[in-house]
Amino acid sequence: MKTRITELLGIEHPIIQGGMHFVGFAELAAAVSNAGGLGIITGLTQKTPDDLAREIARCRTLTNKPFGVNLTFLPVVEAPDYPGYVKAIVEGGVRIVETAGNNPAKWMPILKEHGITVIHKCTTVRHALKAESVGVDALSIDGFECGGHPGEDDIPNMILLPRAADELKVPFVASGGMADARSLVAALALGADGINMGTRFIATKEAPVHDNVKQAILAATELDTRLVMRPLRNTERVLTNAAVERLLATERTLGANISFADIAKEVSGVYPRVMLDGDMDAGAWSCGMVAGLIHDIPTVQELIDRIMQEAKRLIAGRLANLAA
């Protein structure tokens, strides 16, 4: 299946693995790339630029296909060593970078100087247009359904994707609620050039996370995510657990007087304890509403093959018959 995104990235299938904290290691990125999609290493999961350089090198031993690195620019006082991470990406020969968080304009000159294709993640059309204006090559448009940070406008993909298609010139993929062939075909119909899947890829055999995490996703329904940190305008969609319900109770109690310090124990340093140790009540961890559509733990190859085969059947069968 050829789309603008497969042509831009040099991949076989229009499927990208989202950058996920303590999930996007070399094993998963390589598995996605080997299956014809685009695997993504999560840059800030690596504690230092040297660690990222080693993870990039490790990924190269696992695949000879294109893969990318996610680099999220956080609005924090003590920022990570972004120049060091960018240097590791450039020196590692990575050709594709997914940026997220703050405007990537500051980093575009060095990335473009080294011929790197930049995909920026946005939750609004206005931010996507801004990213397009600073020279990104493609966009990942995140609907309200997504795990992680859906922004503050709460626009679901049935509206957001056609709006993006109306306004944007560069290729874009749909993120949030993407899990199967129906997701892919619907996203293409709404104007996207492919899909970005996060939560769905956690529930695969190659995902290097504790089995408790995969089983929690399988057990969840579309009703089991919560939005936390809304009063701080740093909304995150997470899977409910005891810690999340305590966090929400704190938000209700403190209201507008809440500060990050009041909930820090539920959100800081959580991911290694959840993803690696399997402590499912350690704190809040990102998960999309799409958990309600996930019912098995296939290999990445099986998952991508199934999506592509069923997508072709949907297009050539059901949709063609309806049109006829």
pLDDT at residue 52 in the model: 98
Provide the percentage of residues in the chain whose pLDDT is more than 90: 98
**Which stretches in the chain have pLDDT values below 50?**
none
pLDDT at residue 147 in the model: 97
pLDDT at residue 78 in the model: 83
pLDDT at residue 291 in the model: 98
Q: In order of start, what are the domains of the chain with their CATH numbers?
A: 4-208 (3.20.20.70), 221-286 (no CATH)
pLDDT at residue 324 in the model: 83
Residues 6+ apart with CB under 8 A from 16: 5, 9, 37, 38, 40, 98, 119, 140, 173, 194, 195, 196, 197
Q: For 29-38, how does the pLDDT look when each residue is reduced to its tens digit (9 = 90+)?
A: 999 999 999 9
Euclidean distance between CA atoms 184 and 159, whole angstroms:
16
Euclidean distance between CA atoms 305 and 64, whole angstroms:
19
DSSP 118-186: EEEEESSHHHHHHHHHTT-SEEEEE-TT-SB---SS---HHHHHHHHHHH--S-EEEESS--SHHHHHH
Q: For 9-66, how does the pLDDT look when each residue is reduced to its tens digit (9 = 90+)?
A: 999 999 999 999 999 999 999 999 999 999 999 999 999 999 999 999 999 999 999 9
Q: Model's pTM, two decimal places? A: 0.96
pLDDT at residue 75 in the model: 75
Sign of CA dihedral 103, 108, 111, 116: positive
Q: For 117-140, how does the pLDDT look when each residue is reduced to its tens digit (9 = 90+)?
A: 999 999 999 999 999 999 999 999
pLDDT at residue 88 in the model: 98
What mean pLDDT, rounded, does the chain reach? Answer: 97
pLDDT at residue 58 in the model: 98
pLDDT at residue 219 in the model: 98
Instruction: Give how far the C-alpha of residue 25 lies from the chain's centroid of Cα atoms, to the nearest Å.
Output: 13
pLDDT at residue 76 in the model: 74
